[in-house]
Structure formats: C-alpha cells, structure tokens
Structure 1
Amino acid sequence: MNITINRNSETPIYLQIAGTIKNMIEKNELVKGYKLPGERQLASELGVHRNTVVKAYGELVSEGLLTASRQAPKGYFVQSAVNSWNFNNRFFPLEKMIRYHYNEREKRFQEIFNDSVDKGYISFGGIVMDKKVNPAGDMGSIVKHMLQFDEDGEIMSFYHDDSERLKKNICHILAAENMYVNAKNVQIVAETNQALYYLMTLYLSEGDSVIVEEPIVPDNASIFRNGGLNMVTVPMEADGMDMDKLEMQIKKHKPKFIYTMPNFHNPTGAVMSLSKRERLLEIAQRYGVPIIEEDSQRDFRYTQERLPSLYSLDQYKSVVYVDSFTLTFPYGVKVGYVVGPYDLVDMLGRLITMTETFVSNMGAYMISEYIERGFFAEHTKRLAAYYSQKLDLLCSQLDQIEQKGITYQKPQGGILLWCTLDENINERKLFLAAKEKGVLMMPGFLFYPYGYQGRGHIRLCFSNVSDQEIVDGVRLLGEAIDQVKTKENCDE
C-alpha cells in the first residue's frame, strides 16, 4: 500500500496510517470487500511496530470503515464509505444541549492568544489589532454626543438602544458589497462566535453533523465539539474547500449545516473561487443543507478583485451570513451581526432576549455615528493600505529564509499568513524554540482537530507587529528553524 509516514509530524503515526487508508477508501481506491494487508505485513512494509498498525486498523473499525474477521476468511475488510440518505430542504429547530470543556489544542490556542497581548514577545500569534490603526476621526465628539451631561459636567445618562439604527447602517455597508438586505433580516450579536453558538443552539442537537473546512480555528471547533456535534472536516485547496470531498461527506454524514469562510479563510488565507462558490450553492440546494458564511476579514482586501458573497449568489435562502466589527472597530466594542431569512433572524432575537445576552448599546451607537459621519469607509481603506504593506514586508523577509524550509502562498487579503514547513521540521519543537527566542506564532497542528498527514504548518498573524518586529521576528524564526531541523527522520 502506498502509505507515506512523516515522523516529524505532530500527528501520531497510527493516525497517519489510518488517515491515508481512509482517504483511499473514500476515493474508492479500496472498495468494499477489499482485504487489507495483515498487521505484521503492513508493519514490516512501513517500518513500524505491529501495535501501531493494530491501533490504525482499530481506528478505522471504530469508524465503520473496516470490519475485522476472526474466522475464515480472517483479516480486515473494507466496508462501504457512503451510506444512502434521503435529503430535504427543511430546517429543524432542535433542543439545546451543552457540555463545555477545552481539549489540549484549544487550551494551547488560548494560551498563545493570551501571551500575544504581552509585548515581551514579538507576536505573530493571536489576532490582536494594532492601536496605531484604531478608528480615526473625531471619536471624542462622538462619545460626547452620546453622553448627556448636567450643568456641572457630570454624566446624567447615555444614549440607549440603537440597534435598529445600526441594522440600517449595516444594510448600507452590505449594499457596497452588492448584498441588498432589509433591516428585518439583520440580527445584532456580540461577535461571530456567539452567532455560531446561537445557530447551533437553534437548529442542531447532540449527535448531529456539521461540515467545516479544515484547517479550522480551535475556538470555532470548540463551539461545535462542546455542542455534542459530529464535526466533519473537508480539506482546503488553494481556491477553497475540496468540493468532491464535500459532496462525499454530505452523502456519508447527512449534515445539518456547512460552515465556511470563503474570503481570506482563517488560517489558510484562501479565497473561494467563483466556480466553487456556485458549485457549493448547487450542492447545498441539491442535498438541502444550509450554509453559514463567515466574512470577518472581508475589509482586509488588498486587490481590486471582489467576488460576490455566497449570500448574494444564493437564490434559495439557504445561506446565513455572519460578520463582526471586532477587527475594524476594536475600541473594546464587541458588535457583530447575522443576516438571514426573517424567520431565522426572529428566532435568534427571541433566543438572545431569553438568555439576556448583553449586546453593547453604546457600541451600536458609536459604530452608527462613525458610519454616518463618513469615517468608517475611510477607516477601512486605511486598514487595507496599512496591512497590505505589513504583508508585503513579512513575505519579503520570509523569502530570505525560504531555503531553510519554509514556504507560503501569498493571500489576496486578511491579516494572516499560512506557511508550510519542510518534512524535517517539527512544528511543535519550532514553536517552543521560537518562543524561547521571544517570538510567538501558532503551530499548525492546533487547527487540525483529528490530526493530519504531510508537512507541518505555522500561522503568522501580522495584526500587531511593527516593521522592525517583522524583520527581527523572521530572523529569529529562521534561527529557530536551524535549531530544530533534523537531517534524517527518527522512529517515534
């Protein structure tokens, strides 16, 4: 069997073997009834211990992809990778069930984010916005206008509920993206993560499946996992998720939602092509699976190309659009929004009211004033120019250490750069070595909830680093790579 093992990968060898066999089954390279090599035979071919193959085969048996026979004919046999299923186009409101805990990846992700606030590091880790590009314009005037003062200058009160006004302003912003919506189709939330949580609460129950793009941000993965959901991953390609694999996973797992970030995907930075957007909508309609479209890095666009959103292309009201002002208006203001069919938006509003979730009225007022005074449009232009320069500098510095074993595909926007490492670089060791040198970044294995095969990755966020920190940080990263490189693979 053509199985390649990367002994420097963070994914255990048995999972690499299981993952490769799983892909071969799903691609019909191994069909139902095929007998796999014996445990000792495959172990000998791969140069691993027999117990490693036993664990790999056991993983596939537990997933229902293999069956183990202890009677003649003995051995491991392939089962069917796809089950038949009847699809329909209905949403199903389901009861809420939450049991929340963090796994190791999510804990490490949160720790790196927290460390990113500490300026003792050159931080390419968490997304923390640079105060140098905080919203411009007369913010003092906006705040003063919001507050009511008495004759002695004491605050008497502040402007109250401004959500309806903000909804109308959001409609104006989206119109510039060729998305024409009514205020009744907009629900204000605190942030995109909260929107995901509420959508899962309204429509999914424990054991239901949701399809996500892989790699996926750990805190989003945590929302799905802690809801007791079956998180089904679809690999990313240069122009968006693998549509053939998506359709295969839909047939097999019967998901209730597809979650996607078509613009500047986090962490890869990929932009879904127009042809894939159209095919995704066709697949979603054919199988009756609604789509959640997150667009939280939309304003960090560095080219003139502007692909239509899934929401604007959708003819069947099957797309829920989610965005936030958290990155573009970071004055401690947590305001996001959901756009969708009226019934869905109405249900979201009722759920928020029942749970008494606080959505900042002051934040809604400040953002509305900022938009109406013309500051917001200028601010987003300034953000794009500022971070486009940062991306260019980061790429130019990485080019100087490319020979050390780190490559990338330059994205068209966003504030993240997804880098690929040579096979002789262990990303966990690289993370630790770089941190010792005062440089933070996100190791790629954090974004793969089930492990992965192939080369390692790191995510570099350039949202809060100076030009000099980029130069120094990449130099130190290169030194860390030299420190952890192995000339030949060692058995794990």
Structure 2
Amino acid sequence: MNIKINRNCEMPYYMQIVGAIKSMIGRQELIHGYKMPSERRLAKELDVHRNTVIKAYSVLVSEGFMTVSRSAPKGYFIDIPAEDDNFTNRFFPLEKMILYDYDRHTKKFMDIFADTFSDKYISFAGINMSKECLPVNGMEDIIKKLLEKASDGNILLAKLNETERTKQNICNMLVDENVYVKPQNIQLISETTKAFNLITTLYMREGDCIIVEEPVMPDAVSIVRNKGIEVITVPMDNDGMDMDLLENRIVRHKPKFIYTMPTFHNPSGIVMSLEKRIKLLELTHKYGVPIIEEDSQRDFRYTEERIPSLYSLDRYKSVVYIDSFTMLFPYGIKTGYVIGPTDLVKMLGVLVSLDEIFIDNIGDFLLNEYIERGLMKEHAIELATHYKRKRDLMCCCLDAISDKGITYDKPRGGVLLWCSLSNDISEKRVYEEAEKRGVLVMPGFVFYLDKYKGKGHLRLCFSNVSDDEIKRGIALLGEAIDASKRKV
C-alpha cells in the first residue's frame, strides 16, 4: 500500500496512516468496498507496531471512512456511503453495534484523544509526552554506539540480543520500589493496555467477571466487554476503593480478577491508602481472587511519600504487576512489562510471540543503555520536577475560576487533575463549549459505565501543554463553564 511514514515528523505514526488513507480515498485510489490489508500485514509493510495500525483503523472506522466485519467476509473495508448500496446495508448493523451500542464511551474517548494531536486545540484531554520532555541527554552517544554495533552501519541488520538485559535492568530499577524479582518473572510487552488484554485473554472466558474501580479507563472496559466478560465496578473514596462494597461484590459476583491502579489512579488521581492496600490483599487471599495492579504513574511523585505497591506487600503471590516506560522513554519498541509467577510469564510469552511483530531489539538497546548509564533515573527526577510545576500552575489557574463552580483535589503525583463541577453545570455542555473555544477536555462520563447520567467531572491533563497554553486554556474553560450553566 502506498503509505509513507515520516519518522522525523512529530505527528504520531497512526495519524500519518489515517491521513494517507483519507488522501487515497479522496484520489479514488481506494473505493467503496475495497478490502484493506490486515492489521499484521500493514504493520509489517510499514515497519510499525500492530497497535499503531489498530489505532489508525479505529479512527477511520469511528469517522465513517471504514467498516469492520468479524464474520465472513472478515476484515476492514473502505466505507463510502452510496445510495441503495447492498454492501453498506449488510455491514451497517455490525458497525453500529461496535461503535455505539457496544462501546460508545470508548468511541467518544478515542475521538477526543485523536483530536489532541490537532494544532486547532489547546488539549487537556490526552496523556501525551511533549517535545520538551523527550529524553535527549546522552542519546547521541548511545546512538553512536548502536551504529558501531550494526553491520556495515545498517542498524536494521544489527544482531542484538537485548531481552534478558532489559529484564535484568528492570529488576535493578525495581529495587528502589522494594520490589525484588528475577528476570524469569518478567515478560516484556508493548504497553500496559496490551498487558491487560493478554492477561484477561489467558485467564478469562465469556461469562466471567472482573471487578474494577470506578471511574475506570474506557479502553480497559472495552477490552473485557469484547470478550463477553462482565464488568463490575466499585466506587472510590478519597483513599481508594470502598472495601466493604468490594467484599460484598466479591461474594456476590465471584470475579476472576480485581483490576486496580492504586497509585495516582487514572482518571481520579487517587492514591490508595496503606490500610486499604493491606485490606485488599487480605480480601484477595480470603476469597482467592488475584489482582492486576497497574503502576504506570508511579514515577511522577511530587512528595516524599512512597506507599508500597500491592506487589511488594503481597505475601500470597496473588498480584500481577504491570508497568510501562511510555511516559519516560518513548523510543523503545517494547516499553512495558508484566511481573508475575513463572507459569503466567511463560504463557504470556507465547501469546506475545503470536500476537506481536517486532523487527529487532533496537528499542531495547537504547533503553538498556539509557538505564545503565544512570540517565533514566536522572530523567525521571527531572520529569517529576517539571510536571509538579505544571500541576501547580494549573491549580493556580483553576483557583482563579473556582467561583464559577469547578473544584479539584490537588494530586500528589501523576499528570492529571480530576475536577468536579457544581450541580448546575453539565459536563457534556462544558466539553462542547470548551471545544468551540479551541480547548479540549475529557468529560467524566466516558470513565463510567453506560448507566451513568453525568455527575459533573472533567479530567484535565497537563503533560503536553505549555505554560501559556495552561493559562489561556483554563481561562477559556472558565468561559465555557459560564456558557454551560443550566437555567434555574
């Protein structure tokens, strides 16, 4: 397929693919009903990760340029509406089920997230790394070393064996978190979402049940619902899940897993207290329910407080731990990892080998060199300082419009604020009014299950905005709130 990826462009690869396919449709190189290459095939052709193609195809499906079929004929098809077209009529019910009835919150979330890459907006909607946060210090020397290792200067032909080295470096880094593991208990993976997907694939079947905190990331809900797995939510207090409700729902629903983000929860920013962590582990031991613990925000602490992870507290071997370097080191091909029992790790390895295509270990080599030279630890400290300053600036700007009916709890870490709106304000209308003014926010309803009617929340991320954008964006958000208030 005639798609060229510009590796030097700041635009994400998946958005480049989206743009190229739209252009081909406009030039009628791709016409209605054309069957697109499979995710694996296009990923191999473009030398990108399969998830990149999946994300691109998802955007095109959500915008109505493509449709997808899970039954014969299977695959992705160009969808240009035509009057009395049998092809469109045949696929429309499936398309509607996937994009609206089945997963409408995820669709809305992905639509807003895709817009975060547009220059039209000041975006508080997506967690992305800005250019000023890229780990560039020392990278020139590392790349020179990589080129020296390459055969005849061709890095694509370099014979590198970095997997075990990466695992050992992860072991060494986790010592600072009082987590002591061996390389055989680690499986490298592309990202935490993929880890969650594969773990549930490995252990869960249609009709099973999983308990999650609410609010919850919509992509996690989408993953398990697409497998026919029931999602049971437990509301959160200011220090984590309501443990009495959790126990009640464990007894009632007999879940296969509990999924939690105890440190700087996304989207709420809540940190689960030590007392609740201990109680949660006691419940899992009492009822035999393992935990999937995601810890992808732990590097961005803004206080000296360091509550132990569930994994480090676990005496019952009931916790599967997942983390990612995505916000620290975006250069790696495999930037995430799973820690668990040896048999789980081995089976995950089998699934990864079947599900993901990697060209080589170049990303791992860059990551390993960065860690072993001490640059990763320095970079993490610098980022935490940088994001703390961004948080304080955003809080200051929000305080200036607090009389309009927006409040927040100042987070102790992470890269987002979870804001509450007064009862006379519609979060949906705030989102719409803010968008009109060139500001993107993530409305709270996308983080709740379908029966949620809107409780007045916004998620504001500050990882990819300048100081000036924070000041202008929050001022415009104040205007949007004024325009959104219900008439009493």
Structure-1-length-normalised TM-score? 0.76
Write out aligned runs for 1:191-340 (5 A). Answer: 191-331=191-331, 333-340=333-340
Aligned position for 1:185:
185
TM-aligned CA distance change 1:151 to 1:172, over 3 Å: closer
CA contact (8 A) 2:445 2:454 kept: no
Match of 2:31 in 1: none
Q: Distance in 2 between matches of 1:200 and 1:317?
A: 18
- Work out the CA distance in 2 between the residues paired with 1:325 and 1:374: 15
Matched, 1:456 2:438: no
Does the 8 Å contact 1:99/1:226 carry over to 2? no
Q: Provide the C-alpha distance between the structure 2 equivalents of 1:258 and 1:487, rounded to a whole number of angstroms.
A: 42
Shift in alpha-carbon separation, 1:357–1:249, aligned structure 2, 3 A: farther
The CA distance in 2 between the partners of 1:162 and 1:347, in whole Å, is 20
CA contact (8 A) 1:159 1:365 kept: no
Paired residue secondary structure (2:223): helix
The 1:240/1:388 distance shift into structure 2, 3 A limit, reads same
351-360 or 410-419: bigger deviation: 351-360
Which residue of structure 1 lines up, in the alignment, with residue 375 of structure 2?
Answer: 375
Q: CA deviation at 1:154?
A: 5.5
Please tell me whether the aligned partners of residues 178 and 312 of structure 2 are also in contact (alpha carbons under 8 angstroms).
Answer: yes
Change (3 A) 1:150 1:329: closer
Q: Structure 1 residues 479, 146: CA separation in 2 closer, same or farther (over 3 Å shift)?
A: same
* Cα distance in structure 2, aligned partners of 1:359 and 1:190: 13
Q: Which residue pairs with 2:436 in the alignment?
A: 436
Relative distance call for 1:151 and 1:364 in structure 2 (3 A) is closer
Matched residue of 2:338: which SS? strand
d(CA) in 1 for partners of 2:416, 2:105: 19
CA distance in 2, matches of 1:106, 1:361: 32
Is residue 148–residue 158 contact of structure 1 (8 Å, CA) maintained in 2?
no
Shift of 1:341: 1.0
Alignment of 1:322-361 (within 5 A): 322-331=322-331, 333-358=333-358, 361=361
Query: For the pair shown, which has the larger CA radius of gyration, 1 or 2?
Result: 1
**Superposed displacement of residue 158, structure 1:** 2.2
After superposition, the C-alpha distances for 1:69-110 in whole angstroms (9 at most, x for unaligned) are xxxxxxxxxxxxxxxxxxxxxxxxxxxxx9999622111111
Q: Structure 1 stretches of 5 or more lacking a match? A: 1-97
Change (3 A) 1:423 1:287: same
Q: Which residue of 2 is the match for residue 76 of structure 1? A: none
* Cα distance per residue 1:368-391 (max 9 Å; x no partner): 110001100000000000000000
3-state SS of the aligned residue for 1:176? helix
Structure 2 residue runs of 5 or longer lacking an equivalent are: 1-97
Relative contact order, higher structure (CA 8 A, sep 6+): 1
Give distance in 2, aligned partners of 1:359 and 1:154.
Answer: 13
Residue type of the partner of 1:452? Answer: Y
* Letter of the structure 2 residue corresponding to residue 300 of structure 1: F
1:134 matches 2:144? no
Is the Cα contact below 8 Å between 1:125 and 1:461 reproduced in 2? yes
With over 3 angstroms needed to count, the CA separation of the structure-2 counterparts of 1:473 and 1:356, relative to structure 1, is: closer
- Whether contact under 8 Å (1:192, 1:322) holds in the other structure is yes
User: Counterpart of 1:235 in 2: which secondary structure?
Assistant: strand
Task: Give the Cα–Cα distance (whole angstroms) in 2 for the partners of residues 402 and 271 of structure 1.
Answer: 24
**1:352, 1:191 → 2: CA distance?**
12
Q: CA deviation at 1:292?
A: 0.3
Quote the offset at 1:355 in angstroms. Answer: 3.3
Deviation larger for 166-175 or 448-457: 448-457
**Identity rate of aligned residues, in percent?**
57
TM-score, scaled to structure 2: 0.77
Quote the Cα distance in structure 2 between the aligned partners of 1:353 and 1:178.
30
Q: Which amino acid is the alignment partner of residue 158 of structure 2?
A: F
The answer to whether the 8 A contact 2:150-2:158 is kept is: no
CA, structure 1 residues 273+157, in 2 after alignment: closer, same or farther (shift >3 Å)? same
CA distance in 1, matches of 2:313, 2:359: 30
Residue number in structure 1 paired with 2:412: 412
Q: Deviations over 1:97-142 (max 9, x none)?
A: x999962211111111111011221000111111101113221221
Q: Structure 1 241/171 Cα, relative in aligned 2: closer, same or farther at 3 Å?
A: same
Would you say the 8 A contact 2:151–2:158 is kept in 1?
no
Alpha-carbon deviation of 1:156?
Answer: 7.2
For 1:156 and 1:352, the matched residues in 2 are separated by 21
**Contact 1:214 1:234 (C-alpha < 8 Å) held by counterparts:** yes
Q: Could you tell me how far apart the structure 1 residues matched to 2:338 and 2:389 are?
A: 31
Match of 2:18 in 1: none
Secondary structure, counterpart of 2:212 in structure 1: strand
Kept in 2, the 8 Å contact 1:335–1:360? The answer is no
Change (3 A) 1:252 1:154: closer
CA RMSD, 1 decimal: 2.1
